[in-house]
Structure 1
Amino acid sequence: MESPGFTDFLLSLSTLAAAAFGGPHPLMCAITVERDGSPATVASSGPEAQRLDEIQYSLHDGPCLTALRTTQTILVTDVGTDPRWEVYARDMSEENVRSVLAVPIPTDTGSAAALNCYSSESGVFEPGTVERVQEYAASISTILRLALRVHPAPPYPEHLRSALQSRAVIDAAVALVMAQNRCSHDQALALISRAATVQGTRMHDIAADIIAGAGPAAGTTDRRGTDPTGS
């Protein structure tokens, strides 16, 4: 109640979570809140955790969003061997993330939340650790409910507008790549993701170039003359 705002309040919670459960393997933690069907990272233990969350949002699926929407704990012990979320797993590997734990935080009707923990080591989230994170998520539920009531979502929050715009650009580029290459949605998304990795930029930037006709489209080369798929 003494914190200056909703984001600052949650930042202290996610930072505490990272410190409490990191142990010998430091964790990157973030809290995602979804209102009106739109998720956003409202706080993180650092810029790395927020970037990892945003990768998931761009794919519209992953451990965090699944935990948040199903109210079930999602554990990825090793992204290199987990068969779920193929494109997401590859992106996490490229970010040097080896394991992910997403735990839902109970909230009131109309909103949902999850605590997301990332580690550069596989097998970090042992049963005891998972249980402690779940207990922590449950313990902050009451405080989080109060914070959501005290700080209602603004009609047009800047972070939400930006996220929706980015999603629309990526979706449009995926549709173009699918039409040009007669490939699936996942294949088109993987191509754009690979091009972003090769060029060291964001998927949104690659997507914007594709739409503008100035960047790599399906079956073409990227700006440096290399095939974005690496083939």
Structure 2
Amino acid sequence: MAAESGHLPTSGQNQAPTPEQLQDLLLKSPGFDEFLLELTVFSASKLAAPEPMLCAITVERDGRPVTVASSSDKARQMDEKQYGFDDGPCLTALREGRTVLVEDLGTSARWQRYSQAVTNEGVRSVLAVPIDAGPSAAAALNCYALSTSTFGAANVSAVESYSASLSRILRLALRVHRLPAPQDGLHTALQSRAVIDAALSLVMAQTRGSREEAAKLLHEMARSSKQQLKQIANDILNGAALPDPSADGGPRQ
């Protein structure tokens, strides 16, 4: 594993999702953009402990980003700055097939322009890990943290293990769903993300919990009801009641 600050040792920590969880995401998604969006929100909630994590996934074909999905507006903005420069930790991880760790954006010489461009976003460190998407595409998971202490050796190893666990389902998704052209589908996916973002904000306001807790709740509701995440988000925005966290067998645990 290559990193800006040097090689980090691996650990036994493993936050990989189960194959059943990933298959559920794929089966519920009508298209590749929707699948990638739900996978990104799922990843952010899965990797959040012990600190908040913002996630984005990029899939590239023919040297250009074809599909981009972000777990939040802030993650999207961080990614868009990279595409503007056509350079950044995520694009480097994707194109060179190696892990890139930026422990402190404020002191990074390699990513100085990028750091200056995102200085108001509150993100302090970045971890970008490639995902093996097969011979015809490249992909990477980008994780943004709000502190410089998030990506210790154990956490880096856990994110690498998690990214490796996504390879099989991403390859399958690329075969099951037509990969959209750059101008197709992305608008729909962004609309879906906006609905999910709004629902997450509403859940946070109602429960006074974190974004990660809200994302976990939405995913548990989608899984228990066998509905798409966007539909659950729409229902919440239209006044659907949240499950009682004290009820036995409820989605919240």
TM bucket (normalised to shorter chain) is 0.5 to 0.7
Gaps of 5+ in 1: 162-231
Task: Tell me whether 1:75 sits opposite 2:92 in the alignment.
Answer: no
Shift of 1:123: 2.2
Task: Tell me whether 1:16 sits opposite 2:42 in the alignment.
Answer: yes
Paired residues in the alignment total 161
Query: Scaled by the length of structure 2, what TM-score is found?
Result: 0.60
Q: Secondary structure at the match of 2:116?
A: helix
What's the counterpart of residue 130 of structure 1? 156
In structure 2, distance between residues paired with 1:114 and 1:41: 11
Shift of 1:157: 2.6
Structure with larger Rg: 1
RCO comparison, higher one (Cα < 8 Å, 6+)? 2
Q: Secondary structure at the match of 1:80?
A: helix
What's the counterpart of residue 166 of structure 2? 140
What's the counterpart of residue 85 of structure 2? 59
Query: Scaled by the length of structure 1, what TM-score is found?
Result: 0.65
Shift of 1:69: 0.6
Task: Tell me whether 1:96 sits opposite 2:96 in the alignment.
Answer: no
Deviations 1:20-73 (A, max 9, x none): 222242111010010111115532212221121111000110100000011100
Deviates more, 1:144-153 or 1:104-113: 144-153
Deviations 1:73-97 (A, max 9, x none): 0000000111112110112222111
Task: Tell me whether 1:151 sits opposite 2:177 in the alignment.
Answer: yes
Choose from 52, 68, 73 the match for 1:26: 52
What's the counterpart of residue 138 of structure 2? 112
Shift of 1:19: 1.2
Deviations 1:145-164 (A, max 9, x none): 11112223345534789xxx
CA 1:50–1:159 in structure 2 vs 1: closer, same or farther (change >3 Å)?
A: farther
Choose from 8, 32, 36 the match for 2:62: 36
8 A Cα contact 1:78 1:123, kept in partner: no
Q: Secondary structure at the match of 1:33?
A: strand
8 A Cα contact 1:41 1:53, kept in partner: no
CA 1:144–1:80 in structure 2 vs 1: closer, same or farther (change >3 Å)?
A: same
Code of the residue aligned with 1:38 in structure 2: it is R
The percentage of counterpart residues that share the same residue type is: 52
What's the counterpart of residue 234 of structure 2? none
What's the counterpart of residue 9 of structure 2? none
